[in-house]
Amino acid sequence: MTRQGTIGTGIGREAGKGNTGMNSEDIRKLEDLYVADTYARYDVVIARGAGVRCYDPEGKEYLDFTSGIGVNALGFCEPGWVRAVTEQAGKLQHTSNLFYTSPCSLAAEKMIRLSGMSNMFFCNSGAEANEGAIKTARKYSQLKYGTGDGGEPFDRYEIITLDGSFHGRTMATITATGQESFHKDFSPFLQGFAYAKANDADDLRAKLSDRTCAVMIEFVQGEGGVNDLDPAYVRTIADICATKDILLIADEVQTGVARTGEFMAYDHFDVKPDIVTAAKGMGGGLPIGAILFGERTKDVLKHGDHGSTYGGNPVVCAGADYVLSKIDGAFLSNVRKNGAYIKERLLAMDGVSDVSGKGLMIGAALADKKAGDVVRACIKNGLLILTAKDKLRLLPPLIIRRDEIDAGLDILERALKG
Ligand SMILES: Cc1ncc(COP(=O)(O)O)c(C=O)c1O
């Protein structure tokens, strides 16, 4: 039997040796050949990083305002985080959820203390956390309100999400996502989702029905364009949910774990969700997700209802425990101050028409340039930065210093002028 291999390319024959000695061209060539073409990638290879800077194999330096899309909360390879993860990898790498481990217990304790929620479930990604949140909401409702006789599995199952939202790439979470572009070509979708216009309380009220069991929101819509929810609108949602025993699900996958300058974005709004999902920044760079349950939902999922082979993995949890150990009042205040400073500088730039977001999750609307063109110009000049819809999106590591902010914003300012 013949198999296609790397022979034809003449590169990558030393399997298992990482990218040592490979140049950018070789790495790109192998990925283009063997990795499915689902991402529109930039022409950049990253070989190593430290703090807010990373480098390609030839040594070109980049300032990173992306954090791997909000993941590397402490920047690249923070020494204490590397130590925590590597020590754990050398001690115990995996056990399954049939057994207890200390990293899982410690990370969970910190998540619950910092979030004010009641208990939690570990998984591996944001979409997986949202899947579990959706299951929990349906089961809560089914247990409490029972099976209906309307020909449906049960009557109270519908989850309202918002236009412009993004909740993941699995079938349930693309169904939950309120953006048509993610739906095309993948029908049929799951039953039981309805979509309301963001920041429009009347539209939300119109979409509510006897079937509604939950409302699922991002307090700042990330992929949808760094769109802030109005405080009055959030208050209305929270009041409706409390009055009608509808669960409030906060998707904090991008906003959570200090990204917005509070531990969770709901802390800006003085509301208490019933279910919170987190992922991204929580692990500091390793795959993790979490479903946090409040008082109403903490006992809904029982033995056998839900699971995940890698959830609570000790190496990943050691990384998360380290990230969480760094978050205190001073850390959060620094995120808020640096975020306010970035917004101020952005607003003063020619070509930026508006800013949005909270803490170090920032959107910049552009007066006339295309966000993609600006990002490409920034990358050429050594700054990694993101888009969200037609805006620029800045998600720098939460430990970024003022001089690093200035260096990155100087590059952006030049790109906007060019
Ligand atoms: C708000 C939100 N929810 C869910 C997800 C999906 O997370 P993951 O890619 O880890 O599945 C994302 C990813 O960008 C997100 O921003």
How many whole angstroms separate alpha carbon 175 and alpha carbon 146?
A: 24
How far is the C-alpha of 131 from the C-alpha of 167, rounded, in Å?
A: 9
Cα–Cα distance, 19 to 84 (Å, whole number): 24
Chain centroid offset of residue 312 CA = 18
Binning pLDDT at 50, 70 and 90, where does residue 270 land?
confident
Whether the per-residue pLDDT at 125 is higher than 60: the answer is yes
Ligand 1 center to residue 167 CA distance, Å?
6
User: Does residue 405 carry a pLDDT above 70?
Assistant: yes
Mean pLDDT of 251-256: 98
8 Cα–ligand 1 center, Å: 37
CA of 126 from ligand 1 middle (Å) equals: 5
- Give the position, in ligand 1's atom list, of the atom nearest the Cα of 165: 1
Question: Could you tell me the distance, in angstroms and rounded to a whole number, from the CA of residue 254 to the centre of ligand 1?
Answer: 6
Given this model, what pLDDT does residue 148 score? Answer: 58
Task: State residue 149's pLDDT score.
Answer: 59
* CA separation for the pair 206, 162 (Å, rounded): 13
When pLDDT is averaged across residues 270-288 and rounded to a whole number, the result is 97
Pick the residue whose CA is nearest to atom 16 on ligand 1: 254
Is residue 375 left, alpha or beta, with left meaning phi > 0 and alpha meaning psi from -120 to 50?
alpha
pLDDT in tens, 83-102: 999 999 999 999 999 999 99
Residues with Cβ within 8 Å of residue 219, at least 6 apart in sequence: 228, 229, 234, 250, 252, 255, 260, 265, 266, 268, 269, 358
Q: Is residue 112 scored above 90 in pLDDT?
A: yes
How far is ligand 1, taken at its centre, from the CA of residue 37, in Å? 20
- Name the band, by pLDDT with cuts 50, 70 and 90, for residue 3: low
CA 164 to centroid of ligand 1, rounded, Å: 13
Q: Alpha helices of 35-163 — where are they, by DSSP H?
A: 67-70, 79-91, 102-115, 126-145
Atom in ligand 1 nearest the alpha carbon of residue 280: 10
Asked whether the predicted pLDDT for residue 113 surpasses 60, the reply is yes
Which tokens sit at 77?
A: 């390879």
Q: Per residue in 294-307, pLDDT tens? A: 999 999 999 999 99
CA of 251 from ligand 1 middle (Å) equals 9
C-alpha 293/C-alpha 276 separation (Å) is 7
Q: What is the mean pLDDT of residues 208-234?
A: 97
Atom of ligand 1 nearest to the CA of 252: 1
Ligand 1 atom at minimal distance to the Cα of residue 168? 6
Q: What is the residue with the minimal CA distance to atom 3 of ligand 1?
A: 167
Active site residues: 166, 251, 280
The reported pTM is 0.96
Minimal-distance CA residue to ligand 1 atom 4: 167
Does residue 190 surpass a pLDDT of 80? Answer: yes
Is residue 152 scored above 70 in pLDDT?
Answer: no
Best residue among 166, 249, 266, 277 to mutate for probing ligand 1's pocket (most ligand atoms within 8 Å of CB) is 166
The residue to mutate among 66, 167, 175, 227, having the most atoms of ligand 1 within 8 angstroms of its beta carbon, is 167
- Taking 90 as the threshold, does the pLDDT of residue 11 lie above it? no
The answer to whether residue 151 scores a pLDDT higher than 80 is no
Atom of ligand 1 nearest to the CA of 170: 11
Q: What pLDDT was estimated at residue 146?
A: 82
C-alpha 253/C-alpha 216 separation (Å) is 12
Q: Between residues 186 and 13, which one has the greater pLDDT?
A: 186
Mutate to test the pocket of ligand 1, among 223, 227, 259 (most ligand atoms within 8 A of CB): 223
Instruction: Enumerate the domain spans of the chain.
Output: 43-64+329-417, 81-325
How confident is the model over 290-344, as pLDDT tens digits?
A: 999 999 999 999 999 999 999 999 999 999 999 999 999 999 999 999 999 999 9
Q: Give the closest residue (by CA) to ligand 1 atom 7.
A: 126
Take atom 9 of ligand 1 and give the residue whose Cα is closest. Answer: 126
Give per-residue burial for 69-93: e unless 16+ CB within 10 Å, then b. Answer: ebbbbbbbbbeebbebbeebeeeee
Q: Does residue 132 have a pLDDT over 50?
A: yes
Q: Which letter does DSSP use for residue 163 in this model?
A: B
Q: Which of 252, 254, 286 to mutate to test the pocket of ligand 1 (most atoms within 8 A of CB)?
A: 254
Please give the DSSP secondary-structure letter assigned to residue 190: P
Rama region for 247: left / alpha / beta (φ>0; ψ in -120 to 50; rest)? beta
Question: Above pLDDT 90, what percent of the chain?
Answer: 92
Residue 20's pLDDT is: 63
Cβ < 6 A, ligand 1 pocket:
125-127, 130, 166-168, 218, 222-223, 251, 253-254, 279
Q: Percent of the chain beyond pLDDT 70?
A: 93
Domain 43-64+329-417 architecture? Alpha-Beta Complex (3.90)
Q: Which residue has a Cα nearest atom 8 of ligand 1? A: 126
The pLDDT of residue 7 is above 50: no
d(CA 217, CA 198): 9
- Mean pLDDT for the chain? 94
281: which DSSP letter? G
Per residue in 28-78, pLDDT (tens digit) is 999 999 999 999 999 999 999 999 999 999 999 999 999 999 999 999 999
Q: SS3 for 309-358, per residue?
A: CCCCCHHHHHHHHHHHHCCCHHHHHHHHHHHHHHHHHHHCCCCEEEEEEE
Ligand 1: nearest atom to the Cα of 130: 4
CATH class, 81-325 region: alpha beta
